Amino acid sequence: MSAPTTTRPVRTPDDVAALGTVLGIWAHPDDELYLSGGVLAAAVAAGRRVVVVSATRGEHGTDDPARWSPARLAAERSREISASLTALDPVRRRIEHRFLGDASGRCHLDGALVADPGAEAVDELAAIVAEVAPDTVLTFGPDGITGHRDHRAVSAWTDRALQRVPATPQVLHAAVTEAWVRRFAEFVEPMDDAGDAFAPCPDAELAVALELDGELLDRKLVALRAQATQTAGLEAAVGVDRYRASIAGEYFRPAPGRSW
């Protein structure tokens, strides 16, 4: 681990350095950007190691399957995430990225993740955690933000993987605030009926509450535009100003039972 853990809330980009080595574990390319692009850019700018893991290549993330076959979209989204992470750190290009399944040659299918993927997938993720030795893990909570089954599954995978490594990093779950829900929740339709999707976190419980602006927000916007298959339609529909405002907030709460 590269830095001590912190109990000080992260409220500014300068505070992000205290998170130490950051490992993000997500379901699809673009999850890492929407939920933590500013955190990743600020961490790597502070000299911290940053590693992003994607469980799938997002090959079914399209409303136009005639144009985007699964194989074609998987290849495009693989290219997009590489370009977008470079956009977050354009000079040194230090943000690392891994797709789960690369080690075994068995890709995990977009839209088909389950809470118990079997030992092989969990072992691979645990090996990444052990190698990176993160101070902070960023991932989904059990609600998956939107309720998406893949998001919920990745939350469960992360819990299982962390049980297999001796290190005890801080684990932070992506969250939303009441203010964000009031302004922007209509952008993403909840994907479950459980009632916990987009449930806001009280501000006092947030470990990370960044409101990006200026150059850092501009960099995040450029990075998101690099994942155009997932972002161009929404930006065009709502307009650049509202889209830019919607991506400014990044919020995380401590995982239950994890120190902060």
Show the DSSP H helices in 92-148 as ranges. Answer: 119-132, 144-147
Residue 195, C-beta contacts closer than 8 angstroms, at least 6 positions apart: none
The ranges assigned to domains in the chain are 13-254
**Dihedral, CA atoms, 78, 83, 88, 92, nearest 10 degrees?**
110
pTM: 0.94
Cα(42)–Cα(19) distance, integer angstroms: 10
Higher-pLDDT residue of 248 and 185 is 248
Residue 131 has pLDDT above 90, yes or no: yes
DSSP letters spanning 170-207: EEEEEE--HHHHHHHGGGS----SSS-TTPPPPGGG-S
pLDDT interval class at 106 (50, 70, 90) = confident
User: By 3-state DSSP, what share of the chain in percent is helix, strand and coil, each rounded to 5?
Assistant: 45, 15, 40
CA separation for the pair 139, 36 (Å, rounded): 9
- Whether 246 and 238 have beta carbons less than 8 Å apart is answered as yes
Cα 224 → chain centroid: 12
CATH homologous superfamily for the domain 13-254: LmbE-like (3.40.50.10320)
Q: What end-to-end distance do the CA atoms of the chain give, in Å? A: 16
Write out pLDDT tens, residues 177-234. 999 999 987 777 666 666 678 889 999 999 999 999 999 999 999 999 999 999 999 9
